Structure 1
């Protein structure tokens, strides 16, 4: 669908992507202006729609693009040979913080997409988020030494409880961000709170 855009030289692709990410991240889907995007990118509006079809398809393309770039960088950094479950999860959180510093605009766009209320894209984004969560949780669990967990409990249920705990923690922080004027997420606070849950969950589920 986006072959015309992907055939452009990298510099032009980057200009369009950066302009669109900036506009959507600052204003949200409904209020974002394609006029501002083409002005910032230095192209015509006709060309923008030639590449993406419409505003909705451009937004969904950008969401996939940002998530794929962050995932690629994440998996280049994480040590999947680390077999301890909680050590690996701690590592994942620290890498996310590092990437947040490196790609602040991309994370801002992804966060705004997660918080997006527009009926035009909400269902598609929720579907994509669910698919990404399932894929990433599957990868994060690969190669874990499950022998460290208690033998008197179902390991699948343990992992579900741990997953639900951190999903709920994320949901609460996203809701707080959604209700705040700036939509800012306090990642340092999340790390500290996650560490408290790590201690409780390790004492509960490890031998």
Structure 2
């Protein structure tokens, strides 16, 4: 699994060879294809495994009892940072997978991304304390603006990561520090 994830991260789905994976893993090609019918099956299995780990190490740990959405975003960012530190290749693999445009797998990738994002969205946006927002504020619209801003931020950062392929730990730290700065701006704009 580690050899396959590393190869997919370094080369993308299209350019990764099962020959390279088996050589790096020190196994025979027959062994690989005993468990997986194709490179696509292996890739999707790895993605499903990474999604499960991500749910366990990140999504399931988001505290929905915290009603302050800014604090929840900040806590979620720290959880994600911890997960990235603990499983750097896994996180890079998920980015490579979800940003892949290979027509062989794009449908399955989109389906998985939609499901995992729906679970994460539910955890992030349920049970929010609306009394923290300014009295004159239309809270639902304010939350929509926050969501759009953070979604735009995520898309911009994904585009940068796609161009760079992977980020170092220091670059991830800078990314999370920057995210925290944006959360502070949102707090000042919308909270009492």
Counterpart among 98, 101, 114 of residue 98 in structure 2: 114
* 1:184 aligned residue: 167
Counterpart among 114, 119, 143 of residue 130 in structure 1: 114
TM-score computed with the length of structure 2 as normaliser: 0.85
> 1:106-161, CA deviations, whole angstroms, 9 ceiling, x for partnerless residues?
11211222332322223332332232112101112233222212454443332222
C-alpha distance in 1, partners of 2:118/2:69?
Answer: 17
Alpha-carbon offset, residue 75 of structure 1: 4.3
Q: 1:125 to 1:75 in 2, by over 3 A?
A: closer
Alpha-carbon offset, residue 77 of structure 1: 4.3
* 2:23 aligned residue: 39
* 2:8 aligned residue: 24
* 2:76 aligned residue: 92
C-alpha distance in 2, partners of 1:28/1:54?
Answer: 16
Q: 2:92–2:166: 8 Å Cα contact kept in structure 1?
A: no
- Gap regions ≥5 residues in structure 1: 1-16
Q: 1:41 to 1:86 in 2, by over 3 A?
A: same
> 1:57-99, CA deviations, whole angstroms, 9 ceiling, x for partnerless residues?
2211211210210220124644333221111110111121111
Counterpart among 62, 66, 83 of residue 82 in structure 1: 66
Q: How does 1:152-167 map to 2 (within 5 A)?
A: 152-167=136-151
Secondary structure of 2:66's counterpart equals coil
How many residues of Structure 1 are paired with residues of Structure 2 in the alignment?
190
- Gap regions ≥5 residues in structure 2: none
C-alpha distance in 1, partners of 2:72/2:191?
Answer: 15
C-alpha distance in 2, partners of 1:166/1:148?
Answer: 19
* 2:189 aligned residue: 204
Name the stretch that deviates more: 171-180 or 24-33: 171-180
